[in-house]
Amino acid sequence: MRIHLVTPRNPESFWTYDRILPLIQKKCVFPNLSMPTVAGLTPPWHDVTLCDENVEEVDYDVEADIVGITGYIIHKERMLEMIAEFRRRGRFVIVGGPYASLCPEELRGHCDVLFVDEAEETWPEFLRDFEKGEWKAEYRPAEKPDMTLSPKPRFDLMKVEDYHAMTIQFARGCPFRCEFCDIIVIYGRRPRVKSVDQVMEEVKALHALGARQVFLVDDNFIGNKNVAKDLLRELGVWGREHGHPISFQTEVSLNVAQDDELLKLMQDANFTTIFIGIESPRLESLQETQKHQNTRGDMIADIRKIHDHGMQVQAGMIVGFDADDPSIFEEQLRFIQEARIPVSMTGMLQAMPKTPLYDRVKNEGRLVAESTGDQFVFSNIVPKSMSRIDLYRGYRDLIGDLYDFGNYRRRTMEFLLHRGDQANGGRDITASDLRLLWRVLVQTVFRASPARARFTLRLMLETLARRPRAFKEACSFAVTHKALSEYMDTLARNLDVAIEKMSADGSARIAS
């Protein structure tokens, strides 16, 4: 059979970096791993092709017996458009992925076959049924699949050169129970992991294809610490033997800072960036959302300890908890500055479908029906301790302050000056690095506003004077600021429209 697997284009968000992709000569930051994994599950006698709309156009007239489509909630509208176009041309369309798993009721009737939850068991079952002409309308596994049975994704079918970083997955699930999180709804609270040999095979395959950055897309890489440490030891040995050709990034919980051995292993394996859901500096807000793992120590000290081990912390922060009053915005800004976090994805609290938070605010009559699913712009919750207008205005001011030239430069310089050494910190500057530096200077100095040019030159020159071996990182942070500040400007305009609408229709109420 001819099987065509399609991933929809990502709407612009904090993490897409759309505005600087041409500068770094890439089409997408990193790929969705779903379809390469499904391709790996497909028996070799079938002909499988992949299409990622982020790097190439969708061919709706493709000759295929089966067309598969995946996506998250943010892809909902685009997924429905794609399904309709393929079916209009007579294609047999199957749909799966996080959106299908979380909200299957919204997709039933739109596609020929629906996959709910993970597909390691159900995809091969469907293919056998389809060959016999006896397929079901919906497939759902009886239990969460064993990750050790998950195949190596078909990286060979991907356009590796179009992505800034490649992706692999070590584990699914998270042991914590944060009230707003949909991860435990989809993947469960018991972390399931691949074997060390499986992951090393994937790393080696990506290295052979030319990948130099790899993001482990685990929702919590250290959900099973013991196996994570075993993998880190192997990555460290492999990295030393090959000159650390790949830098790694992943997502972890803040309790990583309480395990010195784990931090050292991550440093030795050349992990350079980790995303942590910090959410709030306010204890009451963390307790409210059951983020108890962040209440067991000094969060600023923990973040700085991670920095000491050569890793940048990128933070997930949220405003709009019930315990948040209008003073939270200044409190968040002070925390991020003091913690030396250059990149903070700060958003308003969003109640995602099927989460405990969604059920609670719905029962309390505080769920706003106008939610778009875009957690970086809108909140679908009526706050308790401030009005909706106060929340939107405070958030708009906060993101402006966070990516103000001075605030961003100060915390970035503090991070660069205090960050510990990285495993590949001594790598020589290449001709490719010099060409990239020229493009950075063109976009952030020569063709930039006077304010941006001053900011970039001051960041670069101060780094050269005080810690020259961090110069490449300083250039990277200058480009990152361009992407994020321009995105935040768009966000602020959208917030102004929302505020005006709330003022006009009287929907800016505060919960009683």
Residue 17: which CATH number? Answer: 3.40.50
Residue 376 confidence (pLDDT): 40
Helices 388-402 and 471-505: crossing angle in degrees, nearest 10, is 160
Residue 327 lies in a domain: no
Residue 74 lies in a domain: yes
Residue 75 lies in a domain: yes
Residue 495 lies in a domain: no
Count: domains in the chain: 1
Residue 89 lies in a domain: yes
Structural contact between residues 171 and 224, judged by C-beta atoms closer than 8 angstroms: yes
Residue 196 lies in a domain: no
Residue 511 confidence (pLDDT): 52
Q: Which helix (H) or strand (E) holds 240?
A: helix 225-242
Which spans in 121-224 are helix H?
122-132, 183-187, 196-208
The one-letter amino acid code at 352 reads M
Structural contact between residues 271 and 249, judged by C-beta atoms closer than 8 angstroms: yes
Residue 185 confidence (pLDDT): 87
Question: Could you tell me which residues come within 8 angstroms of residue 82 by beta carbon, excluding any fewer than 6 positions away?
Answer: 6, 8, 58, 69
Name the nearest CA neighbour of 313 among 363, 371, 263, 349.
263
Cite the beta strand spans of 280-409 per DSSP E. Answer: 312-319, 344-348
The range of the structural domain enclosing residue 94 comes to: 2-139
Residue 183 confidence (pLDDT): 86
Residue 144 lies in a domain: no
Give 10-residue mean pLDDT values along the chain (512 residues).
98 93 96 97 97 98 98 96 98 97 96 97 97 97 92 97 97 91 86 95 98 95 95 98 97 96 98 97 96 94 98 97 98 98 96 94 88 58 95 97 98 97 78 92 96 98 96 96 96 92 75 47
Q: How far is CA 468 from the centre of its chain?
A: 30
d(CA 479, CA 436): 11
Helices 471-505 and 431-441: crossing angle in degrees, nearest 10, is 40
Residue 21 lies in a domain: yes
d(CA 73, CA 373): 7
**Cβ burial, residue 216 (10 Å; 0-12/13-18/19+):** buried
What is this structure's pTM? Answer: 0.94
Tracing tokens 């939107």 back to the chain, one arrives at 392
